[in-house]
Amino acid sequence: MLGDDPNAFSHLGSSSTSPAADIPKASTLQGLIEALDPVQGWEYEPEQSVDMRKARAHVGEGPYRIDAHVLSAFYVGAINEWGMEQPRVLVLSTTAYYRVKVEGGSVSVVRVPLEKLTRLEATRGTLRVTAMEPLSDAAAGRWLSSATAVSRVAASLFEEVRTGVKPPPDTSEFESTREYRPYAQLLPAEAIAALGAALSKATELANGVEEARGRAGFKWPKVEGLENLHVPTAASSAAR
């Protein structure tokens, strides 16, 4: 959790502002927390820092506190399916990432469990995150008219439902690709690489926890496209 310092996000916590090379090396939760420490020193506009504090407090101390330990927060521009960019705070925990909208005294949250992540792709300007999300958080009509949805329903009717071999697919979720543009005041490539690495590593560790408990594991995505960002990563550091 954040301390009481209202300027916590304005202080540099490390000589390196890009932990992208250290995050993939973490093998434990504590190691990830330490690798994410420099993120706490990223600089933002004062009003953005205030919104980040509100978002972290809402997730870490609010209705989600039972199933989550907050690891870090990132102020981003979230690009929706219509190409509109909207300010959001991404809060990363050990179980999910939260897309938080802070508007004055109002805070609204969409929770995306880490096991629902299917793809992470770094571009020169954004991080693309593909995940299964609740249908209620999408443009339902657009999803239901998509080829993916139609093919799933058709397959269900003609192969699963009709024969009774399998139950119908869960249509309460849809696969969404969202793009996030980090607003931190450092090189965009560094922020994108670090955000992607954080999501990937947190998901990998969450999978390890499930397997250690004797439960079925899940696939976790590595970050694609890092080679195009030209920032130090664990792989490039090892190569040198």
The whole-angstrom separation of Cα 90 and Cα 52 is: 9
**pLDDT at residue number 214:** 83
The whole-angstrom separation of Cα 22 and Cα 194 is: 9
**pLDDT at residue number 108:** 92
Q: Look up the pTM and report it.
A: 0.76
In 3D, which of 120, 88, 90 has the Cα closest to residue 224?
120
Contact 234, 22 (CB under 8 A): yes
The whole-angstrom separation of Cα 62 and Cα 26 is: 28
In 3D, which of 95, 88, 136, 89 has the Cα closest to residue 112?
95
**pLDDT at residue number 62:** 75
From the number of C-beta atoms within 10 Å of its C-beta (0-12, 13-18, 19+), residue 100 rates as buried
Contact 185, 43 (CB under 8 A): yes
Domains defined for the chain, CATH in brackets: 8-135+175-239 (2.30.29.30)
**pLDDT at residue number 137:** 53
**pLDDT at residue number 35:** 95
Measured at the alpha carbon of residue 116, what is the angle toward residues 185 and 118, in degrees to the nearest 5? 75
Tally of CA atoms within 13 A in the half-sphere of 131 that contains its CB: 26
Scanning the structure block, which residue is given the tokens 């079925």?
Answer: 216
The whole-angstrom separation of Cα 84 and Cα 64 is: 28
Along the 240 residues of the chain, how does pLDDT read in single tens digits? Answer: 333 444 433 333 333 446 889 999 999 999 999 999 999 999 999 999 999 999 999 998 877 877 778 999 999 999 977 788 999 999 999 999 999 999 988 999 999 999 999 999 999 899 999 998 876 554 443 434 444 444 454 555 555 555 666 565 555 677 888 999 999 988 889 999 999 999 999 999 999 888 888 887 788 899 999 887 776 666 555 544
The whole-angstrom separation of Cα 154 and Cα 169 is: 11
Scanning the structure block, which residue is given the tokens 């040198």?
Answer: 240
The whole-angstrom separation of Cα 240 and Cα 234 is: 10
In 3D, which of 55, 50, 88 has the Cα closest to residue 72?
55
Contacts of residue 103, defined as CB under 8 A and 6 or more positions apart, other chains included, come to: none
Q: Which amino acid is at 229?
A: L
Scanning the structure block, which residue is given the tokens 């657009």?
Answer: 142
The whole-angstrom separation of Cα 108 and Cα 227 is: 35
